[in-house]
A = this chain, B = another copy of it.
Amino acid sequence: MTRPLSVGIAGLGTVGTGVLTMLRENADVIAARAGRSIAVTAVSARDRTRDRGISLSGLRWYDDPVELAADPAVDVVVEVIGGSDGPARALVEAALAAKKPVVTANKALLAVHGAELAAMAEQTGVPLAFEAAVAGGIPVIKALREGLAGNRLSRVTGILNGTCNYILTVMRERGREFTEVLHEAQKLGYAEADPSFDVDGIDAAHKLAILAALAFGRPVAFDAVYVEGIRQVSAVDIAFAGELGYRIKLLGIARRTDAGIEARVHPCMVPLSAPIARVDGVFNAVVAEGDFVGRVMLEGRGAGAGPTASAVVADLVDLARGRFTPVWGAGSGALSDAPSVPMAAHVGAYYLRLMVVDRPGVIADVTAVLRDAGVSLESMLQHGRSPGEAVPVVLVTHETGEAAMRSALARIAALDAVLEEPALIRIETA
Q: How far is the CA of A137 from the CA of B298 in the complex (A)?
A: 12
Contact A294 B301 (CB under 8 A): yes
Question: Which residue of the partner chain, among B146, B278, B316, B318, contacts A139 with CB atoms under 8 Å?
Answer: B146
Q: How far is the CA of A137 from the CA of B314 in the complex (A)?
A: 21
Contact B298 A297 (CB under 8 A): yes
Q: How far is the CB of A106 from chain B (nearest CB, A)?
A: 19
In the complex, the chain B residue whose C-beta lies closest to that of A151 is B310
A331 adjacent to chain B (CB < 8 Å) = yes
Contact A294 B151 (CB under 8 A): no
A131 adjacent to chain B (CB < 8 Å) = yes
Question: Which residue of the partner chain, among B146, B217, B334, contacts A318 with CB atoms under 8 Å?
Answer: B146
Q: How far is the CA of A151 from the CA of B306 in the complex (A)?
A: 10
Chain A 142-182 near chain B by CB (<8 Å), digits 1 or 0: 11011111111000000000000000000000000000000
Interface size range of chain A in the complex = 35 or more
CB contacts under 8 Å to B, within A258-284, are: 275, 278-279
Q: How far is the CA of A30 from the CA of B147 in the complex (A)?
A: 12
A309 adjacent to chain B (CB < 8 Å) = yes
Contact A32 B217 (CB under 8 A): yes
Pairs of residues from A and B, 3 with the lowest C-beta to C-beta distance, nearest first? A139-B147, A150-B313, A32-B334
Contact A310 B139 (CB under 8 A): no
Contact B294 A307 (CB under 8 A): yes
A403 adjacent to chain B (CB < 8 Å) = no
A340 adjacent to chain B (CB < 8 Å) = no
A369 adjacent to chain B (CB < 8 Å) = no
List residues of chain B with CB within 8 A of the CB of A142.
Answer: 139, 142-143, 146-147
**Chain A residues near B (Cβ < 8 Å):** 18, 22-23, 25-26, 29-35, 131, 136-139, 142-143, 145-152, 217, 275, 278-279, 290-301, 306-307, 309-311, 313-314, 316-318, 321-326, 329-331, 334-335
A-B contacts, 16 of them at CB < 8 A, read A22-B292, A23-B150, A30-B149, A32-B217, A32-B331, A33-B145, A33-B149, A136-B293, A143-B147, A149-B313, A149-B314, A275-B279, A292-B306, A293-B310, A298-B298, A298-B299
Q: How far is the CA of A296 from the CA of B279 in the complex (A)?
A: 12
Which of A150, A297, A306, A314 has the most chain B CB atoms inside 10 A of its CB?
A150
Contact B33 A217 (CB under 8 A): yes
Q: How far is the CA of A296 from the CA of B309 in the complex (A)?
A: 14
Q: How far is the CB of A388 from chain B (nearest CB, A)?
A: 45
Q: How far is the CA of A307 from the CA of B294 in the complex (A)?
A: 7
Contact B330 A150 (CB under 8 A): no
Question: Which residue of the partner chain, among B29, B296, B310, contacts A300 with CB atoms under 8 Å?
Answer: B296
Q: How far is the CB of A291 from chain B (nearest CB, A)?
A: 7
Which of A143, A295, A296, A317 has the most chain B CB atoms inside 10 A of its CB?
A296
Q: How far is the CA of A362 from the CA of B98 in the complex (A)?
A: 80
List residues of chain B with CB within 8 A of the CB of A293.
Answer: 136-137, 300-301, 306-307, 310-311
Contact B139 A148 (CB under 8 A): yes
Contact B294 A217 (CB under 8 A): no
Which of A147, A151, A300 has the most chain B CB atoms inside 10 A of its CB?
A147
Question: Which residue of the partner chain, among B148, B298, B310, contacts A150 with CB atoms under 8 Å?
Answer: B310
